Amino acid sequence: MDKRILIFSTAFYPVVGGAEVALKELTDRMPSVRFDLVCARLKKGLPDHERIGNVEVHRVGFGYSFDKYLLPFLGVWKAMRFVPRGTPVWSMMASYAGFASLFYCWMRPTSKMLLTLQEGDPLEKYSKRLGSFAFLQRAIFRRANRVQAISKFLGEWAVANGFKGIVDVIPNGVDTSSFSKPVDLERRKHLREMFGFEESDIVLVTASRLSLKNAIDDIVRALPLLPLRCKLLIIGVGEDEAMLRALIEEVGMQYRVVFAGYRTHAELPELLRSSEIFIRPSLSEGLGNSFLEAMAAEIPIIGTPVGGIPDFLVDGETGVFCQPRDPESIAKAVERLIEEPGLRERIIKNGARVVRERYDWDLVSRDMQAILESL
């Protein structure tokens, strides 16, 4: 394949979220494709242009969060200066990058457009935020030549918003070689001691942005219902941290909860493998890559039946379901994994197999390259 692809993305490295990780993992695995990516600057000091991996990155804006609102205008203007007519467009999500892709394709109607859906917030939030401009978001779906969604849930959203074709459901992947790498006993002991956990403790771990949609407060509220040896390790930062710390004091769980703060993606495998159970009682989820990483790290998962989570979590087989906004349900799910004979071992075995067979980045990139070739 000898092809050039123009990508519009709200952000890219070093400003990183799930979508940016996915883009880099995929583009790094397609060396025969030339990728030009236009994104918002968002942080001061980032250059107008640089090469990152297999991507030529072009930034617009002034280094503030407001830059994302400028992307559909400055980004299109910039792309039209150096991208040949007819170059296919890959839109990362139906938000700011989606508007940029739409406007670009209006200006250059011969360009075909791939829309990738990675949205993780409650879907009603997007329409509410757009208000009277929601019709423009529907125009993104109608203009797309192909839509790739990371879950069936998001695929249904595309159809509901006017996409007339067949949605390609291709999930995000996991670096299985990193997350499946064992941690030796001494290293595991050291990591647990670093956070104040004893060997007999059952460490519940959650890794996510500390935000409303991830409902970490419900895990805190479940702790008093669980045995004293159940402790919680919270990995991540976010706007809910102050609220969570206040809640922990209110329910008297200070000695059972540890904040690990921000950790790089490279640090996650060891932290997961040094814990007993991964849990995230999400209120919404496009797919839930953190669950897949925990499955690859061979620890059992607890999640809610929302968004894309049911694509991979089968209760009692690849994980255990709890209910949204229900701390008692969370406690019961943890107790199942502790007490039910053979459940933990079955979930670990099945989860690792599912990730290996369906969610490895090499498999995902092969399917994505086939879609890009069709453009």
**pTM of the predicted model, to two decimals?**
0.91
Task: State residue 115's pLDDT score.
Answer: 98
Task: State residue 1's pLDDT score.
Answer: 45
**Is the domain of 37 the same as that of 157?**
yes
Task: State residue 2's pLDDT score.
Answer: 60
Show the tokens assigned to 315. 């209760």
**Is the domain of 284 the same as that of 210?**
yes
Q: Are 21 and 29 in contact (CB under 8 A)?
A: no
Task: State residue 120's pLDDT score.
Answer: 81
> What's the pLDDT tens digit per position in 232-244?
999 999 999 999 9
Please give the order of strands across the beta sheet that includes 113-117: 49-52, 55-60, 33-40, 3-8, 89-92, 113-117, 146-149, 168-169
DSSP assignment string, 66-119: THHHHIIIIIHHHHHHHSPTT--EEEESSSHHHHHHHHHHHHSTTS-EEEEE--
**Is the domain of 232 the same as that of 118?**
no
**Is the domain of 162 the same as that of 248?**
no
Instruction: Give every residue of the chain whose pLDDT is below 70, as ranges.
Output: 1-2, 126-127
Supply the CATH number for residue 303's domain: 3.40.50.2000
Domain carrying residue 79: 3-172+361-374
Task: State residue 128's pLDDT score.
Answer: 73
**Is the domain of 305 the same as that of 370?**
no
**Is the domain of 289 the same as that of 300?**
yes
Q: Total structural domains in the chain?
A: 2
Task: State residue 323's pLDDT score.
Answer: 98
Task: State residue 17's pLDDT score.
Answer: 83
